[in-house]
Structure 1
Amino acid sequence: MQQLTPEGQQRISDLAQRYYVSTDAVMTLLQALVNGHGTMAQFYHPELGGNGQWMQGGMTMIGDMFNNGLKAKVEGLCAELSSLLSSQPFVPAPAFSSSQMQQQGGGGSTAVSLFVPSAGGGSGSWWPGELGVPSSSGSQNNIRYAYFPGARRLAVDVNGRVSVYDTLDHQISGVSQQQGSGSSVTFTSQYGVVSVLSLPIISGDLAQQPPAKPAQAPFAPAPAEAPAPRPSSSPQEGDIFAAIERLADLRQRGIISEQEFTAKKTDLLSRL
């Protein structure tokens, strides 16, 4: 991992003090300039107006577009950092963190060696080498990111744990970390603010975990069918039996004949 020399740390600390920004903001610009070979930068940092771009001898754009004072500050920082990089051998996207800085004053105007040479001769990049050079990168707090639109990949490093995501059709303009007890990494695209975890993960800690199986309910025997209810007696059943008894009484008293009794009884019983 590429690191700053003590002289480089002091120079960055001096720039942060002179421009009244954090060393993390200066390091974000330095890393973006390294990605742009010292002549251009695409960056994101809250202290620098959010998303921004700078081109040597060209335009400067920041998210807080009407803040001319902040725009001049970004221009000054980029110009000085570009001048520092012009005397350095190009090292693709070294990884930085504010903990590497030493809050010291001073610092002369002579050229300094910013970066500790890589002992293994590697590129010094923290993302997988096959992704190449990102179009934009940045850092905030304990995260850093690099965006590769050609490969449709987003590399995110959170506390030294790197994950690579498929960006699908998103056109990413910045990555940030939502603060709070449930902090999460989000990015901004043409669809607004989106959680990084909504993207398919290609490599990293999450990709190595087997997909979670849906929870299955413990086996339970099918409930026994309730016995069919016995048919209840017809509401008219009692009335029919009472009518037959009255008919029998009329027959015994000679009011109706045996044939009439039998016919009426048959009719009533057919209604049950």
Structure 2
Amino acid sequence: MQEMPDLTPEGRRAVAEAANRHGVSQDAAAAALRALAAGQGTLAQFNHPELGGMVQWAQGGMVMIGDMFNNALKARVDALCQDLSARLRTATLVEPPAWSVATGGGGGGGWWPQDLGQPSSAGSQNDLRYALFPARQRLAVERNGRVTVYDTGDHVITGFGQQQQGGGGSATFTSQHGTVRLEALPVVSGGGGGGEAGAPAAGAAPEPKREAEAAPASGDDDIFGKIERLADLKAKGILSEQEFQAKKADLLKRL
């Protein structure tokens, strides 16, 4: 078995068993496990070519893969995620990320609001730090000592960037919708340090409103996004299984 230093011994056993049980490679099973751990066992967003490219899975029956019409592969991905999700509820399978120790904070937290839990990824770009929480649909950004929390909506974020402009920087991220400016996201809390989402400095001429640099979602993407949000409502107990299935069937008829 290839080295997987971020997994516990129990995690490596779970990966080997799940890979054998569902007929996938251990690398694919490990990718699913890491994403599930970041999503607290109820949500996974990751990319693996063996599993149809971009994968979105939510507890309660929602599964989307890049190869969207490959129903056999979709069923395999669903079974794999359900299997590993169940294992996560009974054992620690993934080691705490090293950066959670480096950034400090009580209870395993960091510079981000602790009620967000543990991010799936964190890093820095020049004068900006970020932490991503896909299970909560939140992105925390620290700039110039100020922390802002954004609502990521249906974005599956896969990367961050910063365009340098005269000593400042315009932060962007990459998702399934393309390259998007950070200020295009709704602000949940905080002041949007560095002018990313806040008001312009006193005396400064306001900048013209700019459109997000994102490719418009297709009709099919919009339907699948709605199904994903319905699955999230079901997981939270807002929708019953019967209500979820009825609404999902209605949306799928529009494809």
Classify the TM-score, shorter chain: 0.3 to 0.5
Which structure features the higher share of helix residues?
2
* Rg larger in structure: 1
Q: What is the TM-score normalised by the length of structure 1? A: 0.40
Q: Higher RCO, 1 or 2 (CA under 8 Å, sep at least 6)?
A: 1
